[in-house]
């Protein structure tokens, strides 16, 4: 269970969402879309992040996201980890674009190194134990603060962070209720984690959606 094949986002308008993510970030095969059925309010408990090589790449992707219809939550700026910023997509999902470098070292590109699904959880240690029990290998772990798992051959990685800290990092209030409006597609069995995030078996239909 080391690979995440794709992320399914539940949205109001699937065609509009597909167009936004293609225009904003150049994402195609990494995301799937379906019509939202359950209500959701406030913070949905997760963020999605594109890690890139340099600040110029961050600026480029942030600009194209805003041009495609995203709202800026945190303008791109230097921070203790490097350089990055955050936006909210028209469907409500929160995205960050970040790099560990603080200076450009080459031509600006729109390439990204990884897409990270960062789940805001109530108990990082308990969720870490749950996912290790489901076959994930830990790549990085900082106590009860943050955990990142090995991604296998996939460009999509999973990480865990405390919910309130994740909301603060994203620039939104931590309160929220209802559906997360996200599902993780992977090759193994279907399950739901302690914080209500759903994992679904990848099928040919989900890959062709």
For strands 182-186 and 198-201, give the pairing.
Answer: parallel
Q: Which of 51-55, 141-145, 202-206 comes out lowest in average pLDDT?
A: 202-206
Using CA atoms, how far apart are residues 99 and 55, in angstroms rounded to an integer?
6
Q: Residue 153: is its pLDDT beyond 80?
A: no
DSSP code of residue 62: H
Tokens (6 digits) for 12 = 């109001």
The DSSP code sequence of 65-93 is HHHHT-EEEEEEEEETTEEEEEEE-TTS-
DSSP code of residue 155: S
pLDDT tens digits, 62-116: 999 999 999 999 999 999 889 999 999 999 999 999 999 999 999 999 999 999 9
178 CB-side CA count, 13 A:
11
User: For residue 1, what pLDDT is reported?
Assistant: 56
Using CA atoms, how far apart are residues 37 and 32, in angstroms rounded to an integer?
15
Tokens (6 digits) for 111 = 């390439």
Q: Grade residue 181 by pLDDT with cuts at 50, 70 and 90.
A: very high
Give the chain's length. Answer: 209
Instruction: Report the Cα 144 to chain-centroid distance in Å.
Output: 20
Q: Residue 6: is its pLDDT beyond 80?
A: yes
Residue of 113, 76, 118 whose CA lies nearest to 93: 118
Structural contact between residues 99 and 54, judged by C-beta atoms closer than 8 angstroms: yes
């Amino acid at each position: 269970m080391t690979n995440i094949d794709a992320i399914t986002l539940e949205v109001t308008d699937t065609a509009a969402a597909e167009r936004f993510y293609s225009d904003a970030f150049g994402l195609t095969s990494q995301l799937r879309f379906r019509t939202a059925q359950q209500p959701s309010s406030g913070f949905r408990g997760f963020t999605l992040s594109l890690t890139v090589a340099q600040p110029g790449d961050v600026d480029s992707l942030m600009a194209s996201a805003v041009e495609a219809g995203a709202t800026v939550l945190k303008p791109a700026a230097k921070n203790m980890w490097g350089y990055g910023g955050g936006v909210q997509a028209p469907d409500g999902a929160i995205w960050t674009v970040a790099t560990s470098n603080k200076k450009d070292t080459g031509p600006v590109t729109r390439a990204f190194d990884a897409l990270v699904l960062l789940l805001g959880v109530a108990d990082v240690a308990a969720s870490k134990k749950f996912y290790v029990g489901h076959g994930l290998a830990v790549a990085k772990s900082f106590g009860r603060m943050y955990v990142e798992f090995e991604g296998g051959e996939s460009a999509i990685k999973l990480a865990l962070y405390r919910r309130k800290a994740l909301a603060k990092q994203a620039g939104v209030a931590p309160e929220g209720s209802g559906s997360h409006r996200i599902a993780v597609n992977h090759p193994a069995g279907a399950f739901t984690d302690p914080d209500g995030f759903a994992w679904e078996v990848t099928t040919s239909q989900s890959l062709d959606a």
